Structure 1
Amino acid sequence: MIFKFLKAQNGDCTLIKYTDNSGAQRNIIIDSGLDATYFDLATNTFGELKAEIDDIKAHDQRIDLLILTHIDNDHICGFLKLFEMDEQIPGIINMVWFNSGKLIAEKIEIEANKALAIKMQQQGVVATGVSEGIDFEDFLLKYDFWARDLILGGQRHVIHDAQFEILGPTIAQLHKLLKEYQDKTEDDAYTSAGTNDWRTDVESFIQEEVSNYNFSQDTSVKNGSSISFILTLKGKKFVFLGDSHPRPITKALAELGHTAKKPLAVEFLKVSHHGSKANTNKKLLSTLDTEHYIISTNSQVYGHPHKRTLSRIIARNPNAIFHFNYENVRENIFSEADRGKYNIRARLTPSIFYKI
């Protein structure tokens, strides 16, 4: 069983490969990063997602589950480029999870606005991901592998021995997302400052948060709509949070019996929103017991990961191991002072293999 954290620029793209109890090889893809994860037009080169798709085909395997957690460009655009350039791809997909605008409107009994059928941004603008979500939905509607079921917190799914306990989104969050489709053309996640906070040392962050720091949760509606879940596979548990907001996820975990007093033991936590300080708070961290924290980003655009987030993790767990999929982030985020005072363990981790 292997988890691959593909180079997806400032986005996410995870491939899970395992053998089910019948001996069949299975593949799950979660998100797809930006275009260059599949094909980089600027350099005329294919990315890691292309190589993995080719490998799946070469071994006569299928994509058993394709998950788009939410519609931000750094999660969806690689899929759009894949579908544009690979005519064979529909023939190897078994199932898709995607909470589209029209699907939300239909399932929660709100009439879809006409805006759902038109593009809401100019070509090449990376403001919202709404038009990309519409393009993705239009593609999926042509094929039977999209069952058009809403994926919601509280659900449980078993697919080829992989068990999913869905933590989010909630119906309320999807109501808000529908309005995004209908009338919004800007996104807080893409208008926020792009500078990082790496010059501040870990000790300063820890001390500040002990005293008088007020946590401010991410306000992006699309991030809050992320499909997030606990995955149980081969007796091991993993948490994938997309770009979700911490308070609803903490509530969902509590409803499953996982609290600071009874934290859920997991192999790793895929940290929300590339380590943004507004998507991981101390209460969420207290409900999960792990040493391994996965962060996917090249840190080239929005200043992620925030060192404040990593400092919260260190304060919660001094034995934390940070896994990055880009060397520049692993190498540069922690200063010599940080490494001297704390037992910083930061690794370049393109993949994690579990021998079962």
Structure 2
Amino acid sequence: MKAVVFEAHGGVEVLSCRDWPDPEPRAQDVIVRVRAVGLNYLDIFARRGMPNVTIPLPFISGGDIAGEIESLGAAVTGWRVGERVVVNPKTADGLIGEEIQGGLAERVRVPASNLVRLPDAVDDDTAAAVPINFGTALRMLTTIGNLRAGETILVLGASGGVGTACVQVAKMIGAEVLAAAGSAAKLEQLRAIGADHAIDYAAEDFSRRAWDLSGKRGVDVVVNFTGGDTFVPSMRALARHGRLLVCGATAGYAPPIDLRYLWRRELQVLGSTGYAQADIEAAIALVAEGRLKPAIGHRFPLAETAAAQQLLEDRAFFGKIVINP
């Protein structure tokens, strides 16, 4: 089969689309014929290398996978060849695309317990935009953040995969949504998917703008997966008893913090580490019902994965970038 492989950590130049042995299923596994893979920053981190994470080289990344079952392990029951599925990448053996070989290939081995059936109403590209992004957004905003109808929420970095998912989930819940991004074109697209207010953080102080838009009371919830120098401004944007939801650190994992806001406003800083299979199942059902609609900005063939990852790394995209093997 063809796969996108890197044998050393580095820039996109280490990626090679080449022949790779077909995976073999264990007793409880299936082989999925991959039809679409959604890119994530995890693919960038895996390729670059991550502190305290050993990635087995040579390696294939890619965790957001949709396709159909091509073959079954000897002990697999309840599934049949040809069924369309999406994959929960969190397996008992590790994370697909980070710790075990991923889906940027024509085929991938997946434990049968990590499969979610795809309704006919959900196409492969759309399905590949759901698991990590919408699973993360659903769990973070509902299970962790307890976002309620009528509350206000500020989503930073709202034009990416998780960001666009948070905008849609928050709007579905009935919150007033403030979405921050770095260009006029992205702001217009965010309004089109449900943002009530769009803030250009390249042109203005997002914290002050959110404070003004909230009637100078602050927002109830901020979603921050960037860290770095956005952390203290996020705290400043929050109302008394506000919740700061953290699910990543793409701009820096050791940000400064101003404890005065924390105690004076009795803020909560809540970490969210991803999703459970139930979140992915719920997200797929909501997409099938038309209540959520993943935004897909770009599609690339497998051989052009390097160009796709460069687009992701440069943040020159909106929504999700999908690879079609």
Taking structure 1 as the reference length, the TM-score comes to: 0.27
Give the number of the structure with larger relative contact order, counting CA–CA contacts within 8 Å between residues 6 or more apart. 2
Which has a greater percent of strand? 2
Taking structure 2 as the reference length, the TM-score comes to: 0.29
